[in-house]
Chain A
């Protein structure tokens, strides 16, 4: 079979990556229409966003910092979804991870690297159990994971708000906990940055100095490693094969001798652990404490979007997380620059997901276009 360019193009466009790219394009196009209808110049807005992402090294660094938790919660949602489970609970698992990391980071007195390992490890274990609980009551009692995780999200939120009020942990009257010990932080060069040599360096090195002005941390590297881990577990291990088999067709998997119930629990343990890692890295690298939550912060919900846009794969989550992080950070700049509401980003994300959900519609549009072209 010979493939000419047109056939190749068609094959690419109707494949999953092509459909996602078309959805993203449509998201931007409709976002532009919304801006236009509201009386803003969409090209100017997109230019401001683009500049807000790339025009300074510091901005790129911030995009990566924004993207890090989204990539990891995206991985969490993707992992569960590949086993056919919808992890709405990434939000709560993230909160549990953040609570434990903040507590371990503040209460324990440990040497530098060990402290980070202990804090992250405990956060992952706690969040894994939190997620695994939803998997267990689905496997054991048949309670749909969407409902149980919605409940667990709220329990986690109020648990977080409760621990913030504890005398030993919360700074009374501030609605925040005490900051974690410096040994638990994963920021790079944070002490050196405020030393005389550091200040001098930042002043004299334009590029690197600018990057150092952002709270850079090693979380992103872990996010990439976790993406590789998710890919490896799902695609290269027997466990991953079983989990995917359950997601593909639980009845067939059961008939093939796979323990479906155990798979559900294992999948949610993994997913919970991942979301918990996201919360832990955010606390150890960015916020250094937890604060009273008036509402859900949305890291878990954004993770659902990241997973869906990234086609529920490890690599896809990294790219979608970076896209989301970039839009979130860059999008926040159109407010000051041109008084255009930054929420156009949420609208765009919503549109992208809506189209991702409707591959049939995009295929239909492509067919109509192809027919028109051939007539």
Chain B
């Protein structure tokens, strides 16, 4: 019995760990798309963030500094995307594609400079800490390797991600700024008439989405693993983007979708660890098939922000 409970704990814990990078990035997606700007550059921003985090954490030995800088790195790419899409009326998907070349390009370019020609960083000395670690172990509140340990003894980034879901939900639905973001995403012309600066809101939203995507990359490279490598991110940003749409452009929905993708990963790792003779490739495929099925099923009920992808030009052209 205890073994089964521990197995469940293991699956939940791994799920939390692998959902976290997706959640940060997906929340970024929610913010930008609710303001009406599509951002498929999340992948490139996450990639760059993962690199910046590991590099800063390696050289300063301070994971939190790495975490913050990863956000700033992502925000820098967000700024580029905002300049293109908001100020210069760029096709948003095209600009996003450009970011997906720039982010990995910059990351690997700099990686080769900082790490002697390698496309991966060295192992960082200190990972993001486990804040509840003191509760577990011999003579502590909970015994180690038990259910509570497996579920709750997780990196600080895991807890941060859930707090951030709350925060984004609160800001988006309960504050003036959030209302403005929504107004700009639904009907920019009307928002403009009411004196809201569409440009400023969209700049803020797109830069924030880059910041969050950068944090998502960081929570991969300096928490889930302890280094950046060129195949670390490969596609997670796209999955986060899909999770955002799966979650109907809502922070809480995006969270659930990310937990689904993370859960599939957790289950895959669990079966692998147990030596269950099931093809890991087929298991890995499942969440994507499920997503398509669910999207096909729930259609009609999903409505993206009305002004998504549309260019806003104040001069009315």
Contact = CB atoms under 8 A, between A and B. Distances in A.
Nearest to A77: B97
Chain B's interface: helix, strand, loop or mixed, by majority? Answer: helix
A143 B291 CA distance: 11
A189 interface: no
Contacts of B112: 335, 341, 343
Interface of A: 34, 38, 86, 88, 137, 141-144, 146-148, 150-155, 158-159, 161-162, 165, 294-296, 301, 304-305, 308, 335, 339, 341, 343-347, 349-351, 353-354, 356-358, 360-361, 364
B131 to A, nearest CB: 32
A38 to B, nearest CB: 6
B108 A343 contact: yes
A346 B295 contact: no
Interface in B75-131: 80, 84, 88-91, 93-95, 97-106, 108-113, 117
A101 B296 CA distance: 30
B295 A141 contact: yes
Given A148-B292, A155-B289, A162-B281, 4 more contacts: A158-B281, A294-B231, A346-B108, A353-B94
Contacts of A147: 241-242, 245, 291, 295
Interface of A is mostly: helix
B288 A154 contact: yes
A301 B175 CA distance: 39
A351 B100 CA distance: 11
A295 B234 contact: yes
Give the size category of B's interface with A. 35 or more
A294 B119 CA distance: 15
12 contacts: A34-B109, A137-B296, A141-B296, A150-B239, A153-B235, A158-B284, A335-B112, A341-B110, A343-B104, A347-B105, A354-B95, A358-B84
Contacts of A349: 101, 105
B285 A154 contact: yes
Contacts of B238: 150, 153
A304 B288 CA distance: 22
B299 interface: yes
Name the 4 nearest CB pairs between A and B, nearest first.
A346-B105, A350-B101, A350-B102, A295-B234
Interface in B229-276: 230-231, 234-235, 238-239, 241-242, 245
A308 B97 contact: yes
B242 A151 contact: yes
